[in-house]
Structure 1
Amino acid sequence: MTNQSVTPMVSAPAPIAASSPINVRQWVCLILLALSIGTNAYLWHLWREDRTVAEVAAQSSQELQMVQTQTHYLQQLKTAVDQWNGDLESLRKADENSQIEIEALKTEIKRLQDSRAAYEVFVQNQLRTYQAQWVKQIQAQKRYEVNW
């Protein structure tokens, strides 16, 4: 036998191909590109959300302003209606007082009509009495003239 030692045969590492560093660089570039695209997309999404929030806030501000304007207008209307209700209440009281006065006047008119009717009866009775007296005087005078 020969004195040769037995060494297992381990294959030598394969030499790195010259194109391999380019592949790693390409992968790094692709990853960086993907990250920048993702970041840009996320930033664009945030920008759109911010813009949407700003538009909604502006619209809400306009709607709030409209609601405040309408509230102010409604408060003015309520004030006017309250004033009209007060005026209407005073008119109702005045109408009620007028109705009471009208009833009092109707009662007075009825009393005056009754008094007038009684006076007419009295005057007619007086007239009849005077006519009867006058007729008697004329008859007496005619008798006196005839006798004279």
Structure 2
Amino acid sequence: MYKHLLRKRCPRDKGAIIWYDQCLVDFSSLDTFGQINYDDNFCMPSTKNLIGDSISFEERLRLLDNLTEMAVTKIDRNIKGIKKAVLYAAGERRLGKNNLYGMVQCSGDLSVQGCNECMTYYTVHFQNCWKSKQGVRVLSRSCNFRYELYPFINPKGPYYTKF
């Protein structure tokens, strides 16, 4: 269904990506399985800046690092009983008067090492985009992350943690 809509809107293109809040739809004529895509990405920062040093860059980076660690170490079994890292994690951290909410996700075709590499690349590559912002979404074909000062993920999910 999505492929048909994308081809109708983009008849000359050989690939497309749609990002949703919890997933992405991607199709391409290129075989990129297991490879990090460094081309298709963007940063959507909040319009609001952080006031002073209410939540430091290091604290936001620590939350994303902790969530990435959870995403690559939490093991799940697929339908065939094969164990694989879930490559997804969400959670929150109390920081003074505020809570910081975050989510990280890697595409299922990446290895644990690939997920770590992708998240490291994009946190560094887009740091000037989100360094002073109250929230951000960084989206790529291979991995994405988000943090906000308000809850945006169901805290009752199986991969949600309070730090």
Q: What TM-score do you get using the length of structure 1 for normalisation? A: 0.18
Which structure has more strand as a fraction of its residues? Answer: 2
Which structure has more helix as a fraction of its residues? Answer: 1
Structure with more contact order per residue of length (Cα contacts < 8 Å, sep ≥ 6):
2
Q: What TM-score do you get using the length of structure 2 for normalisation? A: 0.16
